[in-house]
Amino acid sequence: MLLEFKKPIPVITSENKKGYAIYVESSGMFENDIWCVALCDGGLIRHYNTSQLRICRNATFDIEKEMQ
């Protein structure tokens, strides 16, 4: 199943790069979903597993994380 976001989700990748998740493809499990991310630096599109991403900002849940 493919879920495209109406508003991209700000994320931080495992390489500490900022980006926006555009869509996620479910593999039927919670941990191995494939996320499509547009990176802020250069606009490159990359795919990541769930374990390689962190949400850096979510106003709905008042989540704000700094890059480390």
Report which of residues 56 and 36 the model is more confident about.
36
Q: pTM, whole model, 2 decimals?
A: 0.77
Q: Which two tokens stand for residue 29?
A: 């499990």
pLDDT, one tens digit per residue, over 19-49 is: 999 999 987 766 689 999 999 999 999 999 9
Average pLDDT over residues 5-15: 91
**pLDDT above 70 as % of the chain:** 78
